[in-house]
Structure 1
Amino acid sequence: MSGTGRNSLFLLVIYLGGLIFGVGLAISGMAKPEVVLDFLQFEDFGLLFVMGGAAIVTGITFAVATRYLDRAPLTGDTYKRRLKSFDRNVVIGGSIFGVGWGLSGICPGAAYASVGIGNYPILWAIAGMFIGAYAQGYWRTLRSTTAETATETPSD
């Protein structure tokens, strides 16, 4: 199976993974903005253990999978590293993300789980994330179109 095709097993595993992720966020308290804000204000370090536990499980899984499997089990794609340079966009994007996280007390994954536990006002934050992502994509497209137009030379 190629990496671009998706079969029903792949979609089922993605769904189940999301379900487990959401339940974990809800049980751990990460889906509650007030808990996240307490963490960000250094008043409650419980989420440090949640994130640390998730990082350990993920690290072990990736280390074992990439060492003993030559391809991803569901997609058939080869394992490869995606290298991202540390540039101005990483710093600016990370800073904006951090300010949004600090103001709202929620990050994108936890926002969806927060809706699942009945926190419907968080839908405003989710709408803001979509609008912000769309605005950034629109701005980047506009910028690249302007740059392409500026580099074109007229042919006479």
Structure 2
Amino acid sequence: MSFIVNLVLGLLFGIGLVVSGMSNPAKVLNFLDLFGTWDPSLAFVMGGAVITAFLGYRIVFKRPKPVASASFHLPASSAIDRRLLIGPAIFGIGWGLGGFCPGPALTATTLGAAGAYAFLPMMFLGMWLARMAAARKSAAAAA
């Protein structure tokens, strides 16, 4: 059941990325170019996402448990630390340089976007390096 729910939600998410233009790096880069060819249309996409998430969380958390899981999986910590600040900064810089973030990049491969084929291996390499650095740090702390 969980696989089917996740598959349907993933497909819905991917379709939304394509329809909204988020999988088109030129559209994303135009949104970020405030003093050039600024395209404000993605602000409406993001605003719609924020409103949907805001309402969705209020509805879902009224339930005793999720539909496809035994319990909710929420963060244990609410601390704002160096790692929490550096990670989004790196994400934002990458998004601004490449015009992709992970979801739209995966979607763009199905559309034949050449930039996604360069972006995705580097994204996976960065994720692997981050895991290696975290493992090395925790091993050093344990020693």
Q: Tell me if TM exceeds 0.5.
A: yes
| Structure 2 equivalent of residue 130 of structure 1 | 124
Partner AA of 2:32 in structure 1: L
Matched, 1:76 2:94: no
| Structure 2 equivalent of residue 12 of structure 1 | 4
Q: 1:24 to 1:80 in 2, by over 3 A?
A: closer
User: Number of residues paired by the alignment?
Assistant: 139
Matched, 1:143 2:115: no
Matched, 1:94 2:106: no
Structure 1 residue matching 2:61: 3-state secondary structure: helix
Aligned match of 1:57 in 35, 42, 52?
A: 52
Shift of residue 13, structure 1, vs aligned partner? 1.0
CA offsets per residue over residues 107-134 of structure 1, 9 Å max, x none? Answer: 1111111112221441221111110010
| Structure 2 equivalent of residue 103 of structure 1 | 97
Q: CA RMSD in A?
A: 1.4
CA offsets per residue over residues 128-156 of structure 1, 9 Å max, x none? Answer: 1110010111111112212322xxxxxxx
Instruction: Give the Cα–Cα distance (whole angstroms) in 1 for the partners of residues 73 and 22 of structure 2.
Output: 31
Q: 1:84 to 1:126 in 2, by over 3 A?
A: farther
Unaligned runs of 5+ in 1: 1-8, 150-156
Instruction: Give the Cα–Cα distance (whole angstroms) in 2 for the partners of residues 74 and 140 of structure 1.
Output: 30
Structure 2 residue matching 1:113: 3-state secondary structure: helix
Matched, 1:29 2:21: yes
| Greater length-normalized contact order (CA 8 Å, ≥ 6 residues apart) | 1
Instruction: Give the Cα–Cα distance (whole angstroms) in 2 for the partners of residues 148 and 56 of structure 1.
Output: 43
Q: 1:135 to 1:81 in 2, by over 3 A?
A: closer
Unaligned runs of 5+ in 2: none
Shift of residue 90, structure 1, vs aligned partner? 1.1
Runs of 4+ in 1 over 3 A off after TM superposition: none
Which structure's CA Rg is the greater one? 1
Instruction: Give the Cα–Cα distance (whole angstroms) in 1 for the partners of residues 115 and 99 of structure 2.
Output: 13
Partner AA of 2:45 in structure 1: V
